[in-house]
Amino acid sequence: MKRVAIFISGGGSNMLSLLDAMEDPSFGAQPVLVLANSAKAGGLAKAAARGVPTAAVDHRDYSDRAGFEAEISKVLDAYKPDVICLAGFMRVLTPEFTAQWENRMLNIHPSLLPKYKGLHTHQRALDAGDTEGGCSVHLVTAALDDGPILGQASVPILDGDTASDLAARVLVEEHKLYPAALRKLIGELE
Ligand code: GRF
């Protein structure tokens, strides 16, 4: 059974879809840790309510990324995950950290990569007059939102859509795509 750590910054809706998926014994993985970069992250209570160990490592407590990540690595040493899933995790990780987890760390990004790396993806798609939006799950590499893509899902952009309309439509697909992509990676690890 592979061991999965999930990193969050906020409500953790993607985290919940991953936890739900791993309840199926055939999935082949178990959640061992949910880590947030703030003790206020709403997802921590949701994870704890499901009996998943949690940790908060607040990036503001450290003077640099290396210090922040050293503390994260200490926590990871205690839980020994095989795979890390970034799920609404809003901190950029250093090349050193991503190298340690090469091919074993995933991220979900709310755009059809390689379009719209970075932030405000839905507004950028609307501003560009795109007819579709979507989400991508990719392996995390040193370059932001740039690693090999494991899966994508697209949704139509409708007349009059706001960024939050599009975000809500994409989020529904994220909750299906992420568990499917993780399951595929877990299968390849065995
Ligand atoms: C989602 O749009 C996800 O694509 C992005 O963060 C947003 C919130 O995710 N990475 P969650 O609800 O906290 O899982």
Tens of each residue's pLDDT in the chain, 190 residues: 999 999 999 999 999 999 999 999 999 999 999 999 999 999 999 999 999 999 999 999 999 999 999 999 999 999 999 999 999 999 999 999 999 999 999 999 999 999 999 999 999 999 999 999 999 999 999 999 999 999 999 999 999 999 999 999 999 999 999 999 999 999 988 6
Residue nearest to atom 13 of ligand 1 (CA): 12
76 C-beta neighbours (distance < 10 Å), count: 20
What's the gap in Å between 46 CA and the centre of ligand 1?
A: 15
**82 Cβ partners below 8 Å, 6+ apart?**
2, 3, 4, 29, 104, 189
CB under 6 Å to ligand 1: residues?
Answer: 8, 10-15, 87-88, 108, 110, 135, 171, 174
Rounded Cα gap, residues 59 and 67, in angstroms: 9
Active site residues: 109
Q: Per residue in 9-20, is it b (16+ CB within 10 Å) or e — as a string?
A: bbebbbbbbbbe
Rounded Cα gap, residues 170 and 173, in angstroms: 5
Q: Please say whether the beta carbons of 37 and 66 come within 8 A.
A: no
Rounded Cα gap, residues 42 and 55, in angstroms: 12
What is the chain's alpha carbon radius of gyration, rounded to the nearest angstrom?
A: 16
Three-class DSSP category at 176? helix
| Structural domains present in the chain | 2-189 (3.40.50.170)
